[in-house]
């Protein structure tokens, strides 16, 4: 006795489609405006929200190459602080550049290194006025220390601003 379960128990008839599948609200079935059909050149230019809320450092303000880090380490001036060690070297560019390091030996776990780098990057970003006061543009390399992880932003930021004052005096 072979029986085909699907043929006996599953309906092959398609259900009737409903013309209006959604439930109407109190305002009835009002037509929603569709996409703007005007030509791309005629549309009003909306502000790019990503650029308005972008507080990060532009690529031109970052040191990414190992050779640039080594040049700053070898030829630059070193100022040590409690939370960080800062190396700087006049660059002749039109913008200050920063490179941030947090080594496995000094900091440890990856999530701690990432937090330390975020804190130092934010210190650099928030010190824009102090950096602009330094006439000669420099390449900055900031090394994180383990004690940085026990702090919020305010104390490392104050220390970085003090280091910038010292650096401005040395230039």
Distance CA 146, CA 107 (A): 5
**pLDDT 10s digits, 113-159:** 999 999 999 999 999 999 999 999 999 999 999 999 999 999 999 99
pLDDT band for position 40 (cuts 50, 70, 90)? low
Between 46-55, 56-65, 92-101, 116-125, the lowest mean confidence (pLDDT) is in: 46-55
Q: Give the domains, in start order, of the chain with CATH numbers.
A: 60-165 (3.30.230.10)
Running DSSP on this structure, what letter comes out for residue 149? G
Record the pTM.
Answer: 0.68
Distance CA 170, CA 164 (A): 10
Residue 50 has pLDDT above 60, yes or no: no
Residue 79 has pLDDT above 70, yes or no: yes
Contacts of 104 by beta carbon, 8 Å cutoff, 6+ apart:
113
Q: Which residue has the higher pLDDT, 15 or 90?
A: 90
pLDDT for the residue 8: 74
């Amino acid at each position: 006795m072979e029986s085909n379960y699907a043929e006996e128990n599953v309906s092959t008839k398609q259900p009737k489609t409903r013309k209006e599948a959604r439930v109407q609200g109190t305002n009835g079935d009002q037509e929603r405006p569709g996409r703007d059909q005007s030509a791309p050149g005629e549309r009003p230019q909306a502000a790019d929200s990503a650029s308005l809320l972008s507080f990060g450092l532009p690529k031109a303000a970052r040191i990414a190459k190992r050779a640039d880090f080594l040049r700053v380490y070898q030829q630059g001036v070193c100022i040590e602080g409690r939370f960080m060690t800062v190396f700087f070297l006049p660059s002749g560019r039109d913008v200050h550049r920063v490179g941030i390091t947090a080594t496995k030996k000094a900091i440890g776990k990856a999530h701690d290194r990432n937090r330390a780098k975020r804190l130092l990057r934010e210190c650099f970003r928030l010190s824009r006025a102090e950096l602009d006061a330094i006439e000669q543009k420099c390449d900055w390399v900031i090394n994180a220390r383990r004690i940085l992880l026990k702090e919020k932003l305010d104390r490392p930021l104050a220390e970085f601003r003090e280091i910038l004052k010292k650096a401005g005096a040395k230039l």
